[in-house]
């Protein structure tokens, strides 16, 4: 599928601050479509999982970020539902002022490493068609498309998850395992279709968590530990009470026999 290349007319001396892109201040076609509830819910979830997993590296993970590939000021951007930039670290000021991602301009502006598209009734045909090639041209390494809708919009039901890896000029469609999971080499994660959600698992198939889920898990573990410690304390107290009662009964028996247990 051929995609028309945009003219590159920006002089090299221009930078991000001196060039205003048209779609930084005007809505794109995808902006006007908006996100359905299943899309929004899943986008938020994926961003939350990836941000918590990569919190130490502090790499860039963004939702619906406009990405420009050339210096043409009216270039229609691509806007992945979720974009993961491996190795890109921004300062707090840069993050606060980030309106779009201009690859041709500025410094250290690579293509996203991995992108996700969450299909809707208006986007699924492009997700499974034009965007496969568009992301190759952009320089993305892996692209995943997912249909969380019920009923599904994709025609090849019950498949909900598809993925592609780009190696040079090659577009390699990823093959799912027997359970329908796909392995992401770049994210070092298994991707598991789960109806309205797309779950990420580590190599040992342990679920990757959001910050909220990790916090809840820790709270649950601490509560379980506290309950176990209280149970152990109650058992020790009950045992001590039982031993004390047994001792008192034995002393009472001795007294009945005329023996003073204090003198034994």
pLDDT digits (tens, 9 = 90+) for 143-166: 999 999 989 999 988 999 999 999
Q: Where are the beta strands (DSSP E) in the chain?
A: 60-63, 66-68, 82-85, 100-102, 114-118, 142-146, 161-167, 170-173, 182-184, 189-194, 197-201
Peptide bond into 151 cis (omega under 30): yes
The pLDDT score that the predictor gives to residue 190 is: 98
Proportion of the chain above pLDDT 90, given as a percent: 46
Q: Provide the residue ranges of all domains of the chain, joining segments of one domain with +.
A: 16-208, 214-263
Fold of 16-208: tt1808, chain A (3.90.1570)
Q: Is the pLDDT of residue 247 over 60?
A: yes
CB crowding 96-105: b at 16 or more within 10 Å, else e: eeeeebbbbb
Q: What is the pLDDT of residue 13?
A: 43
Is-above-0.75 flag for pTM?
A: yes
Read off the pLDDT of each residue in 100-110 and give the average, rounded to a whole number.
Answer: 78
């Amino acid at each position: 599928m051929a995609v028309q290349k945009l003219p590159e007319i920006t002089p090299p001396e221009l930078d991000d601050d001196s060039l205003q892109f048209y779609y930084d201040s005007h809505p794109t076609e995808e902006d006007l479509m908006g996100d359905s509830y299943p899309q929004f819910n899943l986008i938020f979830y994926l961003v939350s999982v990836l941000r918590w997993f990569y919190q130490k590296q502090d790499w860039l993970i963004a939702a619906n970020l406009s990405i420009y590939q050339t210096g043409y000021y009216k270039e229609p951007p691509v806007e992945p539902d979720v974009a993961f930039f491996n190795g890109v670290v921004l300062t707090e000021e840069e993050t606060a002022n980030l309106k779009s991602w201009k690859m041709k301009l500025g410094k250290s502006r690579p293509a996203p490493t991995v992108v996700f598209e969450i299909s809707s009734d208006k986007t699924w045909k492009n997700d499974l068609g034009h965007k496969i090639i568009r992301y190759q041209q952009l320089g993305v390494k892996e692209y995943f498309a997912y249909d969380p809708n019920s009923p599904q919009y994709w025609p090849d039901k019950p498949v909900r998850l598809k993925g592609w890896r780009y190696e040079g000029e090659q577009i390699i469609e990823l093959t799912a395992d027997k359970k329908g999971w796909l392995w992401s080499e770049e994210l070092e994660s298994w991707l598991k279709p789960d109806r309205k959600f797309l779950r990420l698992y580590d190599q040992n198939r342990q679920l990757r968590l959001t910050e909220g889920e990790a916090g809840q898990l820790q709270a649950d573990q601490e509560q379980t530990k506290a309950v176990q410690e209280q149970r152990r304390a109650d058992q020790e107290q009950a045992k001590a009470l039982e031993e004390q009662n047994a001792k008192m009964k034995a002393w009472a028996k001795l007294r009945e026999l005329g023996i003073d247990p204090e003198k034994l």
